[in-house]
Every structure is written in structure tokens, then in C-alpha cells.
Amino acid sequence: MSGPSRSGQRLEWKVGVFTVGAVMALTGIFFEQRWLTGVAILVLVVGVFWRFPSTADSDSDGAPDITEATDPSLAPGPSDASE
């Protein structure tokens, strides 16, 4: 599977996990079910930690991912030629 398609699918799963966690949290709060709210928090925490890629997900050729290629804060600064 290609990189952009794979990252798109991963994003869809992350959005789905967040949606399920949010609905569970709101349902638990509405019905005052502490256990449901606790499970929802766990689901949301899993979604947060899912954003960190594992080593198996990284490119083996060392090519930068989309974030590295488009994030201006990761670009090298101008060299100081006056020295």
C-alpha cells in the first residue's frame, strides 16, 4: 500500500477512535455512569498515544515524511556567512 493512502486510512481510524471515545464520554456523563466515562477516557488516551508512530511504520529508506517536508520549523536556518 502506498504512503499517502496508508496515512489517509490511519487518519480515518484515529478520527473514528476519537469519535467513539467522545460519544462514550458524553453518554457516560449524561447517564452519570462513572464506568462508561472511565472507559471513554481510556479510549481517548489510546487515540492520543496512537499518534506516535512505531518503528515499523517509519520508512526504511530514511525519506522524510510529509510533516518533515512541509513543516517550516524543521527547515534548516540561514547560514551565518559574515564570520
CB under 8 Å to 37, separation ≥6 — which residues?
A: 24, 25, 28, 29
Q: Is residue 76 part of a domain?
A: no
In sequence order, what are the residues at sequence separation of 6 or more whose Cβ sits closer than 8 angstroms to the Cβ of residue 7? Answer: 66
User: Is the residue at 20 inside a domain?
Assistant: yes
Residue 62 has pLDDT above 90, yes or no: no
Residue 13 is part of which domain span? 7-52
Q: How many domains does the structure of the chain reveal?
A: 1
Cβ contact 40:28 at 8 Å: yes
pLDDT score of 29:
96
Single-letter amino acid code for the residue at 53: P
Regarding pTM above 0.95, the answer is no
Check residue 67 and give its pLDDT.
56
Assigned domain for 38 exists: yes
Residue pLDDT, tens place only, 8-56 = 888 888 899 999 999 999 999 999 999 999 999 999 999 888 877 655 5
Output the nine-digit C-alpha cell for 63. 525519506
The reply to whether 39 falls in a domain is yes
- Specify if 80 maps to a domain: no
* Residue 75 counted as domain residue: no
Is it the case that residue 72 has pLDDT exceeding 80? no
Residue 35 inside a domain? The answer is yes
